[in-house]
A and B are shown apart, each in its own frame.
Chain A
């Protein structure tokens, strides 16, 4: 079936069967009785389907940003107050306060306000702004350590509960881990796994609460529950229990909203309610879960439908519409999770990954840019730059030119946004309503979830192959059956043969560890809130990752095109490498080495598919490091590309620091050769350029950045972080952090306040290639 026919036959990309005909009449009546002026009707009334609602009701906006307004007085005052709080938080060492006694649930805390009279959208994670909550279901020791790191003591009662009576996700995993898994974990071949923290990444379709109200959602879940009958297999029993948990969660969200004085049992009536209802749902997830990344999804278009209706009916002005958005964004910016200091090594800068996807296209060729898409971006001017929410533009060549230029302008002014290729993801997934989980990973809204799995240190795996399967740091045997490589200089084919064997073993252990982790997470720290806002029968992905791709590509290239001789210690373990002659390096648009990088990705992904995956999830692969490239580098010995022991890797799929010498486009082009089809969890590329190198005037810079993005994505690239900065600015911020509280920089699929990074991470950012013009 062609795409065109598919659209013609049904407006819905995801075909869902109405449950029965009676329901249609019932729901129409049901809906109209609650809504003042009804929206355009569609399948969405019969079944829970936000995409269909948007398909019928979204108003694509073709014009430019001329209509936008500045912050309202209330917004300004509220944000000023927040800035004071943020300053206090920074002065206190990064954490303002911790509630060490209350185990956080949807309803655990009484309502909290920043400044009640100034707030248009309400709701905080605890009873005070920036006060962090404890969520010990992931692991009690982590929570205890986190409290201690910031000078607090975890309540002994809470500790007792989790030591004596209630097992955590972390306990469960270590009860089941094999010795092999433990050894891989401590060596750092597989690292950053969510086995002592929550997995996150699941995006509830929070919009559902606004469009349908809690009662209808409960009704639908109840119907699903009633259908899970028949032989009581493990799976059916589990599903029945899970749906019951979800229904419970829905009731709790309603209760939490009621404590703020809102009845969300019925659909939202106007824009303010739609935003507030959606936020309550999201807040509920943030209250129960502290997974690394808890993305928002794509709410701006949904909000726009309500805002447009209110504007048309004269209930709202542009100033008030912007105020709603700014106030919602303020709430997102004040979101906090309690983390151990150690966590900063892999996820630096206290990120929360409240990722919001903006723009993109419908499958039928209409674009999805609305006035509210602009309003979200405008918040970066009204409130100043910020890393969160993690604003991600779904780029398509067909987006309106005005919008493209506005995005480029925002990038140049704030370095706060990232881009992903909608023209690539939309057709492959046959989906035009999706969010971005964490940094770069596509997740269909409402119908898909993923099991997050950090990453494998590919460079370390290569060193295992060069050392007969032994860890180059500890000498411990991790992989059996790897031949001794004593040919000098190293022989490319021999090395690759042993590397392939090593990878097969590493992937096997990696998959097995992930299966254990997610079994336990489902069991001990199930995301009942998010799952209540997703379809009951879900498409599950399991997201694997690799780090150090450019290190391994360059190392392989060195072995192939130069002469590489390992320098071994008395135990025969590689300490360093002697490299004679030059070799092609990833990042210069040179197929000789770029093809090696591509093949590494393809091979790793193929290896993943050989194994049983928990809950029959589909394995996906990311080339993303977050900021752990620094820590992975530290744990990895010298590599054959000339990288010394302990030196950082490049982030994500980036070429190694300073090795991309042929200019920005050559560097970008190398990354475009990695095949997204084999890395569906995302290929992250972080690009830093000095403003002057983008063009002589602001107008030219904007135009060139638009062309750069169009060109890069036309070559089937997946993701780009864009920083437009001078290194001097960063150096000044390092010397005078107090003057740069809002200086934002994209690091690897997310952004941080630069001054919140450790010195080590700051230095790594500075070592990255900043493209300048030669002339």
Chain B
């Protein structure tokens, strides 16, 4: 069974085309800028079977056309990798595109099995510097980088994503380093910059937890453009979300 936090039926920001996005319950990172803090606890959410999800997918099939499909997001999807193998296997068999939106923090046998039935990975590499990564997410980026490497070796298409937070992730030298690190990966289909936003702030209030970035400004247009310009040196297609 899957522990599902919520489902967006018209997902347009997590993969190509129109997607049914299933947000999974539970996360192993504690990103300062998290905009879905309610998905963090591993307990809670709604129990759903692969069949439940497939039934919902079937209802949306005509909207997917040739581009859309299923995206599993989070929380952190990999925490439920075992159950996801079953879901993705069945979804793929039924003709749905399978996309995994992940922080890439787990790369065990089950994760690898899951990747065998994954059409696209949206991989968040939240910082290239290990120390900063620890500051921003309270976790190491070592496995994430291995995960990316593994995807490249297996030729699994990926979109790299980067949340741009002033003062935390917009240091020029690290943006350059991030770009240089992935420059020669052949499986990167696009790079997306996600400017930090405040839409999730209300959730902190509702949950009664401290919002560490309460006073953090959103990046200015210039700051976003600066990041775009740097990434464009390394990648062909750079998008801003």
> Is B183's beta carbon under 8 Å from chain A?
no
- Known contacts A704-B17, A710-B62, A714-B62; A773 and B239 CB within 8 A of each other: no
In the assembled complex, A66 has its CB within 8 A of some CB on chain B: no
Please tell me if the beta carbons of B18 and A704 are within 8 angstroms of each other in the complex.
Answer: yes
Do residues A703 and B64 form an inter-chain contact, with CB atoms below 8 A? no
B18, A774: Cβ atoms closer than 8 Å: no
Given contacts A704-B18, A775-B36, contact A665 B73 (CB under 8 A): no
Cβ-defined partner of A664 (8 Å) among B6, B10, B21, B64: B10
Say whether A696 contacts B239, CB under 8 Å.
Answer: yes
A613 at the interface (CB under 8 A from B): no
Contact of A775 with B14 in the complex, beta carbons under 8 Å? yes
Asked if A662 contacts B12 (CB within 8 A), the reply is no
Complex Cα gap A103–B18 (Å): 55
Closest beta carbon of chain A to B126's beta carbon, Å: 16
Complex CA distance for A714 and B65, rounded to whole angstroms: 11
Chain B residues, Cβ within 8 Å of A696? 12-13, 192, 239-241
Q: Which residues of B contact A774 (CB under 8 A)?
A: 6, 8, 21, 23
Task: Write out the residue numbers on chain A whose beta carbons fall within 8 Å of the beta carbon of B35.
Answer: 775
- B63 adjacent to A773 (CB under 8 Å): no
Whether A704 and B12, one on each chain, are in contact in the complex, defined by CB atoms closer than 8 angstroms, is yes
Say whether A120 faces chain B, with CB atoms less than 8 Å apart: no
Task: Tell me the B107-162 residues at the A interface (CB within 8 Å).
Answer: none
Docked pose: A136 CA to B195 CA in angstroms: 61
Q: B63 touching A710 by the CB < 8 A rule?
A: yes
Also in contact, A694 and B60, with CB within 8 A (given A707-B17, A775-B21): no
A residues in contact with B192, CB < 8 Å: 696
Name the one of B23, B59, B63 contacting A775, with C-beta atoms under 8 angstroms.
B23
A697 interfacial by beta-carbon distance below 8 Å: yes
Contact between A708 and B63 (Cβ–Cβ < 8 Å)? yes
Contacts of A697 in B (CB 8 A): 239
The range of chain A's interface size is 20 to 34
| Given contact pairs A773-B13, A775-B73, A707 touches B65 in the complex (Cβ within 8 A) | yes
Mask of A536-548 contacts with B, CB within 8 angstroms, 1/0: 0000000000000
Query: Closest CB of chain A to B240's CB: distance in Å?
Result: 7
The smallest C-beta distance from B189 to any residue of chain A, in angstroms, reads 14
A508 to B59, CA, bound (A): 38
A364 an interface residue at 8 Å Cβ cutoff?
no
Q: B241 contacts which chain A residues (CB < 8 A)?
A: 696
Taking a contact as CB atoms under 8 Å apart, the answer to whether B8 and A663 are in contact is yes
B68 at the interface (CB under 8 A from A): yes
Cα–Cα, bound, A596→B157 (Å): 44
Q: Which of the residues A669, A700, A714 comes within 8 Å of B12, measured between beta carbons?
A: A700
The reply to whether A707 and B8 form a contact with Cβ atoms under 8 Å apart is: no
Give the CA-CA distance A435 to B17 in the complex, in Å. 33
B21/A695 in contact, CB under 8 A: no
Report Cα–Cα, A712/B60, bound state, in Å: 9
Asked if A504 is an interface residue, CB under 8 A from chain B, the answer is: no
A711 with B12: CB separation less than 8 A:
no
| A773-B6 in contact (CB<8A) | no
* Contact bitstring A294-308, B, C-beta under 8 A = 1, else 0: 000000000000000
CB distance from A664 to the nearest CB of B (A): 4
A711 and B18 within 8 A (CB): yes
Q: How far is the CA of A697 from the CA of B240 in the complex (A)?
A: 8
Q: Cβ of B32 < 8 Å from any Cβ of A?
A: no
Any chain B CB within 8 A of the CB of A589? yes
Which of chain B's residues has its CB closest to A591's CB?
B59
List 12 extra interface pairs beyond A589-B56, A662-B9, A773-B13, CB under 8 A. Answer: A665-B18, A669-B60, A692-B13, A703-B67, A704-B18, A707-B18, A708-B63, A711-B63, A711-B64, A774-B21, A775-B13, A775-B23
What are 18 residue pairs bridging A and B, where the CB atoms are less than 8 Å apart in the complex?
A: A662-B9, A663-B11, A667-B9, A669-B59, A669-B60, A692-B13, A695-B12, A695-B13, A696-B239, A707-B64, A707-B67, A707-B68, A708-B10, A708-B18, A711-B60, A712-B63, A775-B8, A775-B36
Interface residues of B (CB under 8 A from A): 6-14, 17-18, 20-21, 23, 35-36, 56, 59-60, 62-65, 67-68, 73, 192, 239-241
Closest 5 CB pairs of A and B: A711-B63, A663-B9, A665-B9, A664-B10, A714-B62
